[in-house]
Amino acid sequence: MSAALLIPALLLDAALGEPKWLWDRFPHPAVLMGRAVAAMDARVNTGTNKRQKGVLAMLVLGLGAWALGWLIAAIPDFGLLEVIAAAILLAQRSLVDHVRAVADGLRRSLAEGRQKVAMIVGRDVAQLDEPAVARAAIESAAENLSDGIIAPAFWFLLLGLPGLMLYKVTNTADSMIGHRTPRHEEFGWAAARFDDLLNLIPARLTAALIAISHMRFDPTPILRDAPLHRSPNAGWPEAAMAVVLDTALSGPRSYHGQMQDFPWVWPTGNRTPGPDQIDAACSALWRAWGLMLFITLVIASL
């Protein structure tokens, strides 16, 4: 049943993305999840025992998201609301649009490329040259393909809308409080660890989808380079993207004014990518999405 509902959800998201006219008038569900996380952070992240309080906060957020998904799925509407909810919480079209905007911006000027990439990455962009802007866009494309499309689809296939809702609120919490900052080192521990767990399989599945959709059947370079990434999961889709584009990714970059010397992923690849490589990454997003859709069709037909 979930596979049959996921197919129209994938197609609806790919066709419409996130209509500006709609989300200018109403808060996006992801925004509402963010507000819930922020409320928990403000009210619970105080005093002592912050790690335990963070675990409790994630339990409340997770159970709330699961219950809401279950209630929507229980409505006798032949799955219509489930399809709409899943389409809203998938992000293929919007991801491609945001990444392609970086390529278009770079073609006009470096300043516009920096401005566009700042919308999708957290690193410092003021001093980035053109290859660094392109790498940032490509890395974001790979990581968000996993977080924004493949992982939500995977959990929808496995556990229906409740599973997708649980994943999305966890991923939102990780992005907001799952960082090793003085405020969130302890309180965000549960969000970060649970997000790592929920992305364990989808991240590797995303790497496989990228590689196979490009007829790349040798996993050796991906298996070698993925563990070099600072994240236990993000390295997998990034390594696959680096290989199929023959472009070196990761490497040194600055966060909050502090230069970080991260290792290169696919270090023998092109180190001077530009707008053309960003366009190629967008094509890779659609290839992986298409393979995911095909797999879902096969599952639905069984």
pLDDT higher than threshold 80 for residue 254: no
Residue 299: per-residue pLDDT: 97
Residue 257: per-residue pLDDT: 75
Residue 52: per-residue pLDDT: 98
Residue 85: per-residue pLDDT: 98
- Tokens representing 97 are 């649009």
pLDDT digits (tens, 9 = 90+) for 111-168: 999 999 999 998 888 889 999 999 999 999 999 999 999 999 999 999 999 999 999 9
Q: How far, in Å, CA of 277 to CA of 90, rounded?
A: 24
pLDDT digits (tens, 9 = 90+) for 24-54: 999 999 999 999 999 999 999 999 999 999 9
pLDDT-derived band at 210 (thresholds 50, 70, 90) equals very high
Residues 6+ away with beta carbon under 8 Å from 34:
172, 176
Q: What's the chain look like in SS3?
A: CHHHHHHHHHHHHHHHCCCHHHHCCCCCHHHHHHHHHHHHHHHHCCCCCHHHHHHHHHHHHHHHHHHHHHHHHHCCCCCHHHHHHHHHHCCHHHHHHHHHHHHHHHHHCHHHHHHHHCCCCCCCCCCCCHHHHHHHHHHHHHHHHHHHHHHHHHHHHHHHHHHHHHHHHHHHHHHHHCCCCCCCCCCCHHHHHHHHHHHHHHHHHHHHHHHHHCCCCCCHHHHHHHHHCCCCCCHHHHHHHHHHHCECEECCEEECCEEECCCEECCCCECCCCHHHHHHHHHHHHHHHHHHHHHHHHHHHC
Residue 88: per-residue pLDDT: 97
pLDDT-derived band at 252 (thresholds 50, 70, 90) equals confident
Q: What is the mean pLDDT of residues 54-76?
A: 98
Q: Both ends of the chain: CA-CA distance in Å?
A: 11
pLDDT higher than threshold 90 for residue 255: no
pLDDT digits (tens, 9 = 90+) for 79-99: 999 999 999 999 999 999 999
pLDDT higher than threshold 80 for residue 259: no
